Amino acid sequence: MTAVVVEGLQKTYGSHEVLRGIDFTVTEGEIFALLGPNGAGKTTTLEILEGFRGRDKGRVEVLGLDPGVPGDSRQLRERMGLVLQDIAVEPYLSVRETIARNAGYYRAPRDVDEVIELVGLREKRAAKVKDLSGGQKRRLDLALGVVGDPQLLFLDEPTTGFDPSARRSAWEVVRDLRASGTTIVLTTHYMDEVQALADSVAVIADGRIVESGTPATLGGRDSAFARIRFELPPGTEVSDLPVRASTATEGALVTIEVEEPTAVLHSLTDWALRRGTTLQRLTVERPSLEDVYLEITRSFEREPSQQSVTARGHRPNRSRS
Ligand SMILES: Nc1ncnc2c1ncn2[C@@H]1O[C@H](COP(=O)(O)OP(=O)(O)OP(=O)(O)O)[C@@H](O)[C@H]1O
């Protein structure tokens, strides 16, 4: 089942065309990450899906409803949860009072204390909102997003300002929500967060979706070349190696790029052992999600207008660069 359908979505602010025909779908029960550089239009897209912002053109369906239609939008409020970048809360209410007050807006909210527990704010339940730290405030935002027991949860940069351990806890909360059947639409600038959470990913640049897939396949990552690196053993030359090193040296390291590294590694290690030596600092790596993401978005920063037409064709082959 599909939770969200977006087709040909367009939005212009004045003369600034922010969305120039966005298409994507979110499957029910998945965590979908919408990525893109600052100002790419992620928040605008989310706000359109949430019914807080109108669209100029295109089809948008959220849980079978059109957030652009007032009646549908009201129904959606009951069925979706939001964790926004800046949420207005009463500074003099306590954490528990704030969550309880929000719970009152829904017909079938979750238990308030269970939600406090879920987001790790038990010790701060009596603290006033104004006395919370930045990270604790974001946890409260998360609590407010989930207290209505939403079918669909929007998370706009949910862990910005969290310390590493709080991020891990927030990820656990998000995974638990997915396990309980909640569909989650997420924006984030942290690629480790995408790797840890997302089932599918779409990247917005230059007003369009320029890449989509899973964290493992985005931008051809799964078929990218593996990069083998090691230190040339003392007294040997690159030409002595049993395989051709495509790049002579990178710093002090020899670099070899191959599609499938098993056989090459075998012949390299065999060669080294026969010579009674070792391959110091040996590593085998494929591009990380961050490498791939940066390459996708950088190529759009270079030639925005041309790139938008034939995005794939213009990008250099990241697996070999
Ligand atoms: N109400 C508005 N009026 C005019 N321009 C706007 C408005 N809201 C957003 N913009 C512009 O639209 C563009 C997209 O903004 P948006 O907030 O959707 O980007 P984003 O991808 O969420 O960015 P970030 O990663 O920085 O949060 C930006 O250039 C922004 O300045």
| Distance from the alpha carbon of residue 251 to the mean position of ligand 1, in angstroms | 41
Q: Which of 181, 170, 150 is nearest to 28 (CA)?
A: 181
Distances from the Cα of 109 to the Cα of 97, 144, 312, angstroms? 14, 11, 45
> Which amino acid is residue 106, in one-letter code?
Y
Ligand 1 atom at minimum distance from 37 CA:
25
> Which amino acid is residue 152, in one-letter code?
L
Which residue's CA is the nearest one to ligand 1's atom 5?
13
What are the tens digits of pLDDT across the range 281-297? Answer: 999 998 889 989 998 99
What are the tens digits of pLDDT across the range 152-204? Answer: 999 998 888 788 988 898 899 899 999 989 999 999 999 999 999 999 999 99
Ligand 1 atom at minimum distance from 44 CA:
18
| Whether the CB of 262 sits within 6 Å of ligand 1 | no
| Distance from the alpha carbon of residue 286 to the mean position of ligand 1, in angstroms | 33
ipTM: 0.97
The burial class, CB within 10 Å (0-12 / 13-18 / 19+), for 79 is: middle
Which residue's CA is the nearest one to ligand 1's atom 1?
13
Residue with tokens 């978005």: 297
Give dist(CA 165, CA 167) in Å, integer: 5
Q: Which of 216, 193, 210, 212 is nearest to 202 (CA)?
A: 212
Give dist(CA 61, CA 38) in Å, integer: 25
What are the tens digits of pLDDT across the range 52-97? Answer: 999 999 999 999 999 999 999 889 988 999 887 666 778 899 999 9
Do the strands 247-250 and 183-187 form a parallel or antiparallel pair, or are they unpaired? unpaired
| Distance from the alpha carbon of residue 183 to the mean position of ligand 1, in angstroms | 24
- Quick check: helix, strand or coil at residue 39? coil
pLDDT confidence bin for 6, thresholds 50/70/90: very high
| Whether the CB of 188 sits within 6 Å of ligand 1 | no
How many other β-carbons are positioned within 10 Å of the β-carbon of residue 283? 10
| Whether the CB of 105 sits within 6 Å of ligand 1 | no
Q: Whole-number mean pLDDT of the chain? A: 87
Give dist(CA 94, CA 314) in Å, integer: 54
How many residues comprise the chain? 321
pLDDT score, position 315: 31
pLDDT score, position 302: 53
- The number of helices, as runs of H, and strands, as runs of E, in the chain is 11, 13
| Distance from the alpha carbon of residue 265 to the mean position of ligand 1, in angstroms | 48
